Each structure stands twice: as structure tokens, then as C-alpha cells.
Amino acid sequence: MVNVVVVYHSGYGHTKNQAEAVFEGVSSDADVRASCIAINHEGNISDSDWQALDNANAIIFGSPTYMGMASWQFKKFADDTSKRWFSLAWKDKIAAGFTNSASMNGDKHSTLHYMITLAMQHGMLWTGTAMMPSNQKASVRDDINYLGSFAGLMAQSPADAGTDESPTKGDIDTAKLFGQRISEVTKQWCS
Amino acid sequence: MVNVVVVYHSGYGHTKNQAEAVFEGVSSDADVRASCIAINHEGNISDSDWQALDNANAIIFGSPTYMGMASWQFKKFADDTSKRWFSLAWKDKIAAGFTNSASMNGDKHSTLHYMITLAMQHGMLWTGTAMMPSNQKASVRDDINYLGSFAGLMAQSPADAGTDESPTKGDIDTAKLFGQRISEVTKQWCS
Amino acid sequence: MVNVVVVYHSGYGHTKNQAEAVFEGVSSDADVRASCIAINHEGNISDSDWQALDNANAIIFGSPTYMGMASWQFKKFADDTSKRWFSLAWKDKIAAGFTNSASMNGDKHSTLHYMITLAMQHGMLWTGTAMMPSNQKASVRDDINYLGSFAGLMAQSPADAGTDESPTKGDIDTAKLFGQRISEVTKQWCS
Amino acid sequence: MVNVVVVYHSGYGHTKNQAEAVFEGVSSDADVRASCIAINHEGNISDSDWQALDNANAIIFGSPTYMGMASWQFKKFADDTSKRWFSLAWKDKIAAGFTNSASMNGDKHSTLHYMITLAMQHGMLWTGTAMMPSNQKASVRDDINYLGSFAGLMAQSPADAGTDESPTKGDIDTAKLFGQRISEVTKQWCS
């Protein structure tokens, strides 16, 4: 059994929906023990959450993109990982990331590249979507990887969409496949 | 009168369509002398093109995004600007950039941030779209800034779309407004 | 008279030293009214600080680089600027940025490019250092732009250096010149 | 036995020195078959080079940083990898990268993040330096990871330094350790 932990912040619930879909994808693998940690509105997680992260074989970071970057609550969490960094305690864990925002692009790439930067400081191995984009004339919004992202997982939730309707089916299905991907990579790495 | 020069590479013609829309927007301002330079398939421009760039008050860079970055032909042009860099000959020019690719995201952000990096080495001033995104539930593909880009202009042309049909009307209209924006900024800077 | 505001977060005081050098450079121009705002340890500034930012012709962002990005306190400030973003209230202001960290590189580039991303969302114009690097065999640590940064200002303070000794003279002198540069650009833009 | 291939472009020879040190580090592992491919001055490699890359378990990308990004020759190589991208032929290979430039920073971070973007399009797994930086007051230029890089390997060669004297000993030693790191990661991944 390998441990995969999803740790995310969600401001209004859309990123929580995305996180749960990633978690479902991770969990669909019988050889993986999955858990999910929500960073609270003050940017904190509990001591047992930190312990779960320390014990993880893979960590999947998640955050909305606000003003062109991960939320301050996610950044507070990232700053708090400095204690692990000093001893490279997270070295050789698998890392991946996801983000949601209201626009098609909306600088989501910026958030994902920050998560990579964070993972690289920790000496982790980064894995992206490994998915082809859906970018033909006949492509539709609910296709897998319609947003065309590679460095990590993206979802888009319109600014006026409720959490009961967004992210849409295609982005949620993409999130599940992404979770499965991370499980597979983690198992190969730990075998 | 101020001089604004669009310098771009286009592999198949979609980015050329985008460039011409930007050029049309720039040219719509009676106080602006606009010109348009195409980097050829070997990554070269002519001596008179270099002179036009040296005389410009603003330079707008354009390239498709191939494999997550500006095309090699654009990069060859960028490398060739090193002669200007040694004397900071382009210091205090206005700079902006645009890119087209097949996917909604497709790492276009990466290309735009490289163009910023290039402009910063030259001591230029960077201006983006200064446009709000269209990201409501009722938003449609032909809205202005549907792609939700800020650092520069984006267009998306499906992988199997001909140059007679792509970029679509919304991206072309956005390109025209972007060109107007650069003209306005350049006039204010040079006044 | 034009208004230039430096707004920064400093965790231990090194970035404060850098901010004060930038402020000194800005202030050395008799035609510029300069002010300096410190983001507190909770990531907040006062109502009058927000008013000063709203009235600024130029805003210079500053933050340490922690775990590969601006501090969470700076990010909280950035998230709080979303109220201005909705109406593009900061459009056409001049923007620039600086950062300090313990390593020569230490992902400072990541922080500066985030500040650019933030400025682009606001429709601001970004200006970098416009300085050549000092990168010859005979170059020494106290040279101007020894760190070789273009997108914004960098300083490096060793992890065990006190705030009475760091950043070093060269980085402080570079910061003063950077402040002067922003004053000149702002005056030209507003003339 | 696992295969690790270093593929790099070098303009004047400094990056070649760095590449050879990485190669030496990779080769020091008896369980690794290492090879080294030089992209030529037209941006090309041979058919057998492409075959070696296709057969690799890990690919280490290398390029100087010119005008804020990998050289155009490296980008031409990257564009030519699109044939592999269409079938995700390089999916699940280990990837890493290195770069050299004249300045301490000099936008080397930009080149490394582009190499990550390229690797993510291919569905590869990225590994960085996993090294702590040398950033104390007592640190000296020849320390391991004095440049403080995490996303990949950096070296700095003064603009007027010959290829017989640069990169310096510390950067070369860091490159050897980096090569060893990639060998270790590749073996664990393929075991």
C-alpha cells in the first residue's frame, strides 16, 4: 500500500469539488491509501494533518487561483512547510498540483508553476497530467483536458456559478483521471 | 506621430491573422505610424526591419506557442537582439506580446512570460491587455477576452482549423482592441 | 508632482532595509512625492494606506522570497487588491517590484514574475531594472546589479546575516538606483 | 541497466563543460548506461540520436540561457520533439535540466521552467537538484549549490571567462552530484 495525500485550500467550494474528484480518482486504486486535507480559512492544518503529509508517498497540492497565484491561505501552508525543507524531510516524495479559477486561462499556469517551484525546493518529483488536450474543431467543453493543461490539473468555474454546478462534468472527469494517474506514478515509484 | 512595430513569426498563418488584427488595431489611431514585420521560416528579418525596430517607440512581439514556448524562429530573432542589449539600445521602448495555439491554455502563459523576460532584459516597459475577462455562465466564445489573459494577448485556433476560419471572431476583435491599447499607451508615454 | 508608493512585507527586517533603499532612491527626485507602506505580520495595511495606493501614480511591490514565492502576508495583500481589480481601478499605474532572499538565486525570479502577473491583472505598466549585469571575471559582490536581475530588483542576505549587515552595500546601492529609475519612468509617464 | 541521455546545446563551450560534468556524474553509477548528445549549431541532432532519446529511461536537457531563455538551437530541438508528443512517446521518462549563463541570476530560472514545461507536455516526471543551498555568511563560491537552485542545475561563467576556466570548480562539482542524483532517481523509477 502507498499513501497519497491531497492537501488543498478552497475559498468558496469549487476547488473543494475539484479536490474531491481528484481524491476519488486516487482512491479508485485498491493499492492506494488516500486521504484529503483541507487548509482552513486561516491557512492552517492540524498536527495530525502534518503527520499525514510527513508519512505520504505522494502529495497533491490544490488551490484556487486568486489574483494570478495560489490563495494566501495556500501560501501560508507553503511557508509553514519550511520546517520540513530545512531537513529535506519531503525529499523523494511524488508531487502534483491542481487549481481552479473563473476564466479559461486566468493565470492558472502561474499557480501550477508555483506549486512546482515549491515541490522542487523540497526535492520532490513532479508529475503533470500526461494527457493530450482536446483541441479540435469538434471538441466540446466536457471533453477530457479541454482546458489543455500539462503541468498540472486545471478546472474552470464561471464567476457566477454555484458549487452545485461547477466545475463542469468534463473538468471533474479530468480530475478523476488525474487522481488515477498520480496513484499509478506513486505505485511505480514505490515498488 | 509615434512608431509602433509588430514583429511576429507565424508557422501556418493563424498567428499571422492575429498579427494583422493587432496591426489593424494599432493603425486605427491616426496619430500612430504602424508597421508589421514577419520573421521568416529561418528566424531572420532584413536590415531595414532591424532599423524599423530601432526607430520604434513600441514593439509588439508575436509568436505561436509550440511545445510550450515561442517558436524557435521567434527565439532566433530574440537571440539576435543581443546586439541591441549590449548597449541597452531598446531601453524605454514600450513592449507587449501575443500568442496563438491550438488549446485553450496550452502553455500560452509561458510564451507571454518569456516575452516579458526578453523585454525586461532590454529595459523596456511592458503593457498587457488591461481587459477584464469574460467568465460568466452566459459568456460565449466570441466575447472579448474570453480566454482570460492579462500579461498579453492570447488566441486559440483548433488544431484542425484552417487559416480562413481561425482565430475566431472574438479573438480577432480582442486583438484589435489590444492593438488600440498599445497605441494609446505609446502615445501617453511619448507625449 | 507625481506619487510613488512602496508597499512591502518584511519578515525579519532585511527586506525592510531593501525597501528603505528603494524609497531613498525614489525620494531623491525632487519632483516625486514618495511614501512607504509596510504590510503587517497579519498581511494587512490600513485604510489610509489603501487610499495612498489608490492615489499613487506608481506602486512598487516588495516581499521576501519564502519557499519560492512572495510571503503569505504579501499574498494576502495581493488577494485584498481584488476589490480594485473588479473596476480596474489601478489601470495605467506604473508598477515595479523587488525581493530579497538568502541564496544567490533561491527562486527570486519566481517572486518577481508573480508580481508582474499581479500588475498585469490590474492593467498596470511594468518596469524592471533596465540595468546591465556585472558579470565579468573582475566583478565583485558590491557591484551594481551583481545578482544580474532584469524583471525587478533582487537582494541577497545570507541566512545567518543580521539586519545591521545585510543586504550588502552593492545590493543597497542597486536598490537606490532602482528607486531613481522608477521615479524617472513615472515622471515621463505622467508628463 | 537503465539508460540516461544528456542532450544539450552549447554555444561557446561553457555549457559543454557543464554537460560533461553532469554526464560524468551520471556515469559514475555502474548500473547506468549514459550517453551524451550535442545539438549542433543548426539546432539538429542525428537519427541515431533521436533513437537514443526514444530508448532512454531519463533525459537531461541542457542549454545556455541567452536573452532570458534556452538558446534557439535548443528550442528548435524542442520543437522537433513534437513528433514524439503527438503519441506521448516519451511519457513516463524521467526528466531534468541544466543551464549556464554569465550572470548570477540572469534569468536562468526562466530556462529551467521552460524545460519543465516541455517535459510536462511530454508526460515526463521532473526531478530537480534536491540540494540545500549554500547561503551562509561563511559560504564561498566553490560550495555545492552556491547559486541556490532547486528546479534544475545552474552554473555561472563570467562573460569574459574562457572555457578552460569556467564554470568554476564548485559549479562543476555540483553538476557531478546532480548527475548522480538523476541516476539514482532513474534507477528507483525503473526498478
- Summarised one tens digit per residue, pLDDT across range C140-171 is 999 999 999 999 999 999 999 999 999 999 99
User: Quick check: C125 and B151 CB within 8 A?
Assistant: no
- Any chain D CB within 8 A of the CB of B71? yes
Backbone angles phi, psi at B136, to 5 degrees: -95, 170
**CA distances to A69, A84, B101, C11, C112 from C43, in Å:** 16, 23, 38, 11, 18
Give the closest-approach CA distance of A2 to chain B in angstroms.
Answer: 32
Residues of D in contact with A113 (CB under 8 A): 113, 116
C73-93 burial: b if 16+ Cβ within 10 Å, else e: bbbbbbbbbeebbeeeebebb
**CA distances to B49, B93, C63 from C98, in Å:** 35, 21, 7
User: Quick check: B103 and A68 CB within 8 A?
Assistant: no
Mean pLDDT by 10 residues, chain D (191 residues): 98 98 98 98 98 98 98 99 98 98 98 98 98 98 98 98 97 98 98 92
The percent of residues above 90 in pLDDT, for chain C, comes to 100
B65: β partners: B70
Give the closest-approach CA distance of B109 to chain C in angstroms.
Answer: 10
pLDDT confidence band for A47 (50 / 70 / 90): very high
**CA distances to A80, A123, A150 from D150, in Å:** 18, 8, 20
Interface test with C, best of B90, B108, B120 (most C CBs within 10 A): B120
Residues of B in contact with A147 (CB under 8 A): 103-105
Q: Which domains does chain C have, with CATH numbers?
A: 2-190 (3.40.50.360)
Nearest to A108 by CA among B103, C151, B100: B103
pLDDT score recorded for residue C131: 98
Segment A157-181 mean pLDDT: 98
Q: In this complex, which chains have at least 3 CB pairs below 8 Å with chain B?
A: A, C, D
The 10s digit of each residue's pLDDT in C37-67 is 999 999 999 999 999 999 999 999 999 999 9
Q: How many CB atoms lie within 10 A of CB B31?
A: 12
Indicate if the alpha-carbon torsion angle C73, C78, C83, C84 is positive or negative: positive
pLDDT confidence band for C23 (50 / 70 / 90): very high
Residues of C in contact with A108 (CB under 8 A): none
The 10s digit of each residue's pLDDT in D64-119 is 999 999 999 999 999 999 999 999 999 999 999 999 999 999 999 999 999 999 99
User: Quick check: D137 and C104 CB within 8 A?
Assistant: no
Segment A142-170 mean pLDDT: 98
pLDDT score recorded for residue B81: 98
**Mean pLDDT in chain A?**
98
- Any chain D CB within 8 A of the CB of A151? yes
HSE at residue C37, side-chain half, CA atoms within 13 A, is 23
The percent of residues above 70 in pLDDT, for chain A, comes to 100
Strand C125-127, strand B125-127: pairing: antiparallel
Backbone angles phi, psi at C98, to 5 degrees: -145, 155
**Mean pLDDT in chain B?**
98
Whether D82 contacts B11, CB under 8 Å = no
- Any chain B CB within 8 A of the CB of A19? no
- Sole residue written with cell 474570453: B146
Residues of B in contact with A101 (CB under 8 A): 148
Cα angle for residues D163, D164, D165 (degrees, 5° grid): 90
Contacts of C185 (CB under 8 A, 6+ apart): B92, B125, C58, C94, C127
User: Quick check: D66 and B82 CB within 8 A?
Assistant: yes
Nearest to C136 among D68, D151, D160 (CB): D160
Q: Which residue of D has its CA nearest to A188?
A: D189
Q: Which amino acid is at B174?
A: T
pLDDT confidence band for A117 (50 / 70 / 90): very high
pLDDT score recorded for residue D126: 98
Residues of C in contact with A70 (CB under 8 A): 75
User: ipTM value of the model?
Assistant: 0.98
Instruction: Quote the cell numbers at residue A133.
Output: 488536450
Contacts of A113 (CB under 8 A, 6+ apart): A151, C110, D113, D116
- Any chain A CB within 8 A of the CB of D132? yes
pLDDT score recorded for residue D37: 98
The 10s digit of each residue's pLDDT in A96-106 is 999 999 999 99
Nearest to C117 by CA among B92, D110, B112, B60: B112
Contacts of B81 (CB under 8 A, 6+ apart): B90, B118, B122, D67
Give the closest-approach CA distance of C158 to chain D in angstroms.
Answer: 5
pLDDT score recorded for residue A26: 98
The single-letter DSSP state of residue A103 is S
Nearest to A3 by CA among A104, A71, A132, A90: A90
User: Quick check: C105 and D105 CB within 8 A?
Assistant: yes
D95: β partners: D59, D126
pLDDT confidence band for A136 (50 / 70 / 90): very high
Segment C106-135 mean pLDDT: 98
Give the closest-approach CA distance of B68 to chain C in angstroms.
Answer: 17
Strand C125-127, strand C94-101: pairing: parallel
**Mean pLDDT in chain C?**
98
Nearest to A185 among D113, D125, D128 (CB): D125
Inter-axis angle of helices A108-121 and B108-121, nearest 10: 80
- Partner A, chain B 86-115, Cβ-Cβ below 8 Å: 101-110
- Any chain A CB within 8 A of the CB of C28? no
Contacts of D148 (CB under 8 A, 6+ apart): C101, C102, C103, C104, C105, C106, D133, D134, D135
